[in-house]
Amino acid sequence: MEWQFRADAPIYTQLCEQLTLAIVSGVFGPGERLPAVRELAVDAGVNPNTMQRALSELERNGLVYTQRTAGRFVTEDFARIEREQQRLAETRAREFLDAMEKLGYDHAGTVDLLEQMRGEQML
């Protein structure tokens, strides 16, 4: 997995975001067993306690669960994963619309542009 960290936010929240993205995009599929905390930490090049904190947060959100001795698994609840996907997609869409607004396109203008591009088979 590719990990990247920005300077302006806590590392653990960024780990939460990137792990969530990995689950939504199927890098870690539903019901799949996650690597051990230390292994994930080494892969990401981060502190194991910080990785542990991020995984606990995902557990609170119901995206992963722990089985006492077997380890940590991605939820098998597809609906839960889809909800997360929708939430991420909405966030990205809002970011895109904000960027377009800075270019002088209001939301209707952006939608028009997208439709025009689809018409010209640029999408």
Q: Is 119 in the site for another protein (CB under 8 A)?
A: no
Q: Is 55 in the site for another protein (CB under 8 A)?
A: no
- From the list 11, 22, 27, 97, which residue makes contact with another protein (rule: CB under 8 A)? 11
- From the list 21, 48, 57, 83, which residue makes contact with another protein (rule: CB under 8 A)? 48
Q: Is 42 in the site for another protein (CB under 8 A)?
A: yes
Buried b (16+ CB within 10 A) or exposed e, 88-121: eeeeeeeeeeeebeeeeeeeeebeeeeeeeeeee
Q: Which long-range contacts (CB under 8 A, 24 or more apart) does 46-52 make?
A: 46/3, 46/11, 46/15, 47/11, 50/11, 50/12, 50/15, 51/15
- From the list 16, 19, 34, 46, which residue makes contact with another protein (rule: CB under 8 A)? 46
Which range binds another protein by CB under 8 A, 22-30, 42-50, 77-85, 96-104?
A: 42-50
Residues that bind another protein (CB under 8 A): 5, 7-12, 38, 41-42, 44-50
